[in-house]
Structure 1
Amino acid sequence: MSETTIDTNALGEKIVRVLKTIYDPEIPVDIYELGLIYDVFVNEDHEVKVLMTLTTPNCPVAETLPVEVQEKVKSLNEVKDAEVELTFDPPWSQDLMSEEAKLELGLL
């Protein structure tokens, strides 16, 4: 395994830890466990792209949540730049939540 692969994997894990500190204001579960993060891409230049969704297109935090995600990911020393792309394809559903999130919300 090349050093770059290890670096980007370790960075990916750090990014996930940061994402787990961000909560949807209406649901007491972090956005990662809620399934709002669809993908995280890290290139060799340590530029990060986060593909995420919201629980609904007219979510009250539609303006602020992606900005918070971008700023927190960018605040990591190893990250050169970060971009957040919002998508509603596929639309979010409770099926995307982790078992932990479903337990937390009494859905299991």
Structure 2
Amino acid sequence: MSKETTEIDTAELGEKIVKVLKTIYDPEIPVDIYELGLIYDVFVNEDNDVKILMTLTSPNCPVAESLPVEVEEKVKSLNAVKDAEVEITFDPPWTQDAMSEEAKLELGML
């Protein structure tokens, strides 16, 4: 397999992962976690192992235990994904500035 094909595949897989992330909502805010800016990075290696670096709206978020598990499970459900791991970070801490324009509009902040 040429390197070019692999890059396209990982880019396509990245887009599919983002679509899945957009189906997961913060239970306290009616906006998906991607638009909220909780996803800091998505890494896909050539073996289709996925690592997601994300944060929560606060360290004592009520879904601190369940949300990362939900993210891992939904991403792993994609056929092309071999494995998925979620790493939670609070550096930098989440602020409302991380939200997309769409999220801010949805919450009446614009």
When normalised by structure 2's length, the TM-score is 0.97
**Shift in Å at residue 48 of structure 1?**
0.1
Q: 1:60 maps to what in 2?
A: 62
Give the aligned partner of residue 43 of structure 1: 45
Hey, what's the Cα distance between the residues in 2 that align with 1:65 and 1:51? 13
Measure, in 2, the Cα distance between the counterparts of 1:72 and 1:60.
19
Residue 32 of structure 1 and its aligned partner are, at CA, apart by 0.1
Q: Distance in 2 between matches of 1:67 and 1:93?
A: 22
Deviations 1:8-64 (A, max 9, x none): 000000000000000000000000000000000000000000000000000000000
Q: Give the aligned partner of residue 24 of structure 1.
A: 26
Separation in 2, partners of 1:90, 1:107: 22
Partner residue in 2 for 1:107: 109
TM-score, normalisation: structure 1: 0.99
The aligned amino acid for 2:20 is: V
Q: Which runs of 4+ in 1 moved over 4 A?
A: none
What letter matches 2:15 in structure 1? E
Gaps of 5+ in 1: none
Partners of 2:91 and 2:109 in 1: how far apart? 24
**By how many angstroms is 1:95 displaced?**
0.1
Following TM superposition, by how much is the alpha carbon of 1:101 offset from its aligned partner in structure 2, in angstroms? 0.1
**Whole-angstrom CA distance in 2 between matches of 1:29 and 1:93:** 15
Q: 1:41 is matched by which residue type in structure 2?
A: F
Q: Aligned Cα RMSD in Å?
A: 0.7
Corresponding residue of 2:93: 91
Identical residues among aligned pairs (%) = 83
- Aligned residue for 1:49, secondary structure, equals strand
The match for 1:9 among 8, 11, 21 is 11
Gaps spanning 5+ residues in structure 2: where? Answer: none
